[in-house]
């Protein structure tokens, strides 16, 4: 079963991350890379990506003639996707355990961020 | 350049008012449109991946307890928007990503009327942030 693990944050939260020291960022990324390596070794890894910060986000919709209308203004409360992991695991509990490990990655001063990770199963396509 | 095109559904408070209430005919027309879009993007070698997610009632959020074990919670704020699905495309310009997003936005809804829903477009990072 494939699950996506979504890490989200607000603009303010992203601003906070940008204030971390280089050492803190390196420690954070080292743990995430280690998790990725272990998921690769266990055959559960499908994909992971980080996204560019919210300042680079646009919302687009189709005009009546099909042309794109773009807008870069978002409500302050909006949560932006920061990155995700796709894993192929035997059970939902295993997906939660992996999300728990990601949540425990160290933040400032080496303290775990304990940030919430949204866990969602892929729909089998086409949906009924 | 890789971009992610994210289609968000209604908020948790509006759950059940969406696609589940459509007729089978409308639903099939919508899915056929999306499959055509994916096929066109495959043919143009711009599609990296596309997935739909299960409904928000199956979503959980997880965080680590102090001992590292997962704590799960299925309760979300009423205002939360849920990701319904996404496309990752590899295109030469942001304008091309916006044009693809507009096509996804124009997918037919009830009675074949284009949904014209907003699609969030974001560049994907090529490496860990510096």
Question: CATH number for the domain including B107?
Answer: 3.30.70.1060
Specify if B14 maps to a domain: yes
Specify if B64 maps to a domain: yes
Structure tokens at B65: 């307890």
Whole-Å CA distances, B104 to A13, A66, B15, B60, B121? 30, 10, 21, 27, 12
CB atoms within 10 A of CB A54: 21
pLDDT in tens, chain A (128 residues): 999 999 998 888 888 888 899 999 999 999 999 999 999 999 999 999 999 989 899 999 888 888 899 998 888 888 899 999 999 999 999 999 999 999 999 998 989 989 999 999 998 754 43
Report the number of distinct structural domains present in chain B: 1
Q: How far is B46 from chain A (nearest CA, A)?
A: 17
Q: What strands lie across the sheet with B60-64, from one edge to the other?
A: A45-50, A80-88, A2-9, A117-121, B60-64, B70-73
Task: State which residues form the domain around B108.
Answer: 2-123
Specify if A58 maps to a domain: yes
Of A64, A104, A115, the CB nearest to B68: A104
What is the number of CB-based contacts under 8 A between chain A and chain B?
A: 165
Residue with tokens 């559904």: B9
Question: In 3D, which of A49, A80, A56, A83 has the Cα closest to residue A70?
Answer: A56
Of A69, A96, A123, the CB nearest to B72: A96
For residue A68, the chain B residues in CB contact (below 8 A) are: 95, 98-99, 101-102, 105
Q: Enumerate helices (H) and strands (E) in chain B, giving the number of each.
A: 2, 6
Structure tokens at A49: 């990506």
Question: Considering only A57-61, A89-93, B58-62, B80-84, which range has the smallest mean pLDDT?
Answer: B80-84
Specify if B128 maps to a domain: no
Question: In 3D, which of A95, A116, A120, A92 has the Cα closest to residue B77?
Answer: A116
Apex B26 CA angle, B32 and B118, nearest 5: 75
CATH number at residue A103: 3.30.70.1060
Q: How far is B88 from chain A (nearest CA, A)?
A: 10
User: Are A58 and A70 a contacting pair, CB within 8 Å?
Assistant: yes
- Asked if the Cβ–Cβ distance from A104 to B79 is below 8 Å, we say no
Specify if B118 maps to a domain: yes
**pTM, two decimal places:** 0.86
Local structure of residue A17 (DSSP, 8 states): H
Task: State which residues form the domain around A53.
Answer: 2-121
Report the number of distinct structural domains present in chain A: 1
């Amino acid at each position: 079963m494939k699950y996506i693990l979504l890490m989200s944050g607000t603009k303010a939260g992203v601003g906070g991350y940008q204030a971390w020291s280089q050492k803190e960022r390196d420690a954070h990324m080292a743990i995430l890379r280690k998790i990725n390596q272990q998921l690769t070794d266990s055959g559960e890894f499908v994909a992971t990506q980080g996204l560019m910060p919210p300042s680079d986000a646009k919302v687009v919709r189709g005009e009546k003639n099909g042309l794109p209308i773009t807008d870069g203004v978002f409500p302050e409360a909006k949560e932006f996707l920061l990155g995700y992991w796709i894993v192929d695991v035997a059970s939902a509990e295993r997906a939660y355990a992996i999300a728990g490990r990601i949540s425990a990655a160290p933040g400032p001063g080496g303290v775990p961020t304990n940030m919430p990770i949204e866990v969602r199963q892929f729909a089998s396509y086409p949906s009924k | 350049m890789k971009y992610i095109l994210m289609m968000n559904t209604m908020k948790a408070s509006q759950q059940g008012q969406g696609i589940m209430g459509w007729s089978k005919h409308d639903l099939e027309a919508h899915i056929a449109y999306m499959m055509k879009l994916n096929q066109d993007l495959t043919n143009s070698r711009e599609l990296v991946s596309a997935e739909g997610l299960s409904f928000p009632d199956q979503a959980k959020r997880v965080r680590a307890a102090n001992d590292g074990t997962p704590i799960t919670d299925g309760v979300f704020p009423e205002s939360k928007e849920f990701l319904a699905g996404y496309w990752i495309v590899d295109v030469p310009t942001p304008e091309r990503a916006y044009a693809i997003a507009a096509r996804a936005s124009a997918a037919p809804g009830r009675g074949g009327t284009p949904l014209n829903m907003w699609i969030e477009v974001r560049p994907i990072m090529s490496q860990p942030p510096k």
